[in-house]
Amino acid sequence: MKGSVVGAAGTAGMALALGNSQAKTNTTQTLDFGKEDLFDHSHEFAGTVGDIDIASDFDPMVFLEQFDFGTKSQLDNGQTVRDYNIVAVDRDIEIAPGVKFPAWTYNGQVPGPTIRATEGDLLRINFSNAGTHPHTIHFHGVHSPKMDGVFEVIKPGGQFMYEFEAKPWGLHLYHCHAVPLKRHLHKGLYGTFIVDPPAGRPAAREMVMVMNGFSTQFDGANTFYAVNTAAFHYAKQPIPVKVGQLQRVYLTNLTEFDLINSFHLHADMFRLYRTGTRMDHYEITDTVMLCQGERAILEFTLPEPGSYMFHAHQSEFAELGWMGIFEAHE
């Protein structure tokens, strides 16, 4: 982590919005603790100024509830087949208002599409590398080591078909496994992989949140954090939630450089299903920390209207973008 911003919130926000060297320069205000603290802490919102361009680019609100079920067909034996097309492509993405990041992407977006299937489906992931570096797709879950996306590195212009059965049911993820791994991950080559139980889960409003970070200095220290890429987006555009309706968050951690990331919900608690592979085992909590590659399903029902904040419980991550609000209404 880097760029701890100390000073008036407005200044911090603008420094972040400017990005690059300005964002890294700490605007430090010296406080004389011997006197009464005259520094104004009543700022309404410590964050970026303005908004990302969702009209011409990635819209985090759409991504939140978007699932790629592939093209469905059936084998003679009745097994469901799902075909997906994933293309690796270099692309500049907007990670905060006016701040572009030269990403390596799956299908032009970071995170890549949320791949979803039911346990037992045969998945065929047709991967093409239209980028400038060698890449792969390494899926978590159970499959043949020949389909693991580690040893067969796909060169630019190359293609590979990953074929395996979706199992076990739970919340998984995928990412590039070309070396150096931390570079390929940090550049944006990752996504969520959901395998539904054959009988499904209880009806709920479902959301995908990928915890990620970006180093605009490319020095191995993140300058921005978020869920689903755009810093502070869900704080500025709160996620509408219906009071009394079951909410289900598929939460993954794909943050590079930092050892852990975390999710904390205010004013309520959630059921925590680690890896989502069991439905009879859960913990009731309001905070979960995850290492890179770990994931968990969170379920909760907001009891009354209002703004419920959620953010990383590493305060610095929250202040550098990983913060949002659920706006509950009747």
What are the residues binding Cu ion (CB under 5 A)? 135, 176, 178, 184, 189
Shortest reach from residue 184's CB to Cu ion, in Å: 3
C-alpha dihedral over 42, 43, 45, 47, to 10 degrees? -140
Nearest 5 degrees, angle CA 265-CA 238-CA 314?
40
Beta bridge partners of 259: none
Alpha-carbon distance of 163 to 123, in angstroms, equals: 6
What are residue 12's phi and psi, to 5 degrees?
Answer: -60, -45
Q: Is 256 within 8 Å of 184 (Cβ atoms)?
A: no
C-alpha dihedral over 2, 216, 172, 90, to 10 degrees? -170
Shortest reach from residue 179's CB to Cu ion, in Å: 9
**Nearer Cβ to Cu ion, position 110 or 176?**
176
**Nearer Cβ to Cu ion, position 184 or 295?**
184
DSSP 68: B
Alpha-carbon distance of 244 to 297, in angstroms, equals: 18
Q: Is 246 within 8 Å of 205 (Cβ atoms)?
A: yes
Shortest reach from residue 165's CB to Cu ion, in Å: 25
Shortest reach from residue 296's CB to Cu ion, in Å: 25
Shortest reach from residue 126's CB to Cu ion, in Å: 17
**Nearer Cβ to Cu ion, position 10 or 293?**
293
**Nearer Cβ to Cu ion, position 154 or 235?**
154
Shortest reach from residue 66's CB to Cu ion, in Å: 23
C-alpha dihedral over 313, 315, 317, 320, to 10 degrees? 140
Alpha-carbon distance of 67 to 188, in angstroms, equals: 18
**Nearer Cβ to Cu ion, position 135 or 233?**
135
If one counts every other C-beta atom within 10 angstroms of the C-beta of residue 123, the result is 24
Name residue, tokens 């699932």.
67
**Nearer Cβ to Cu ion, position 103 or 178?**
178
DSSP 135: B
Shortest reach from residue 182's CB to Cu ion, in Å: 11
**Nearer Cβ to Cu ion, position 178 or 235?**
178
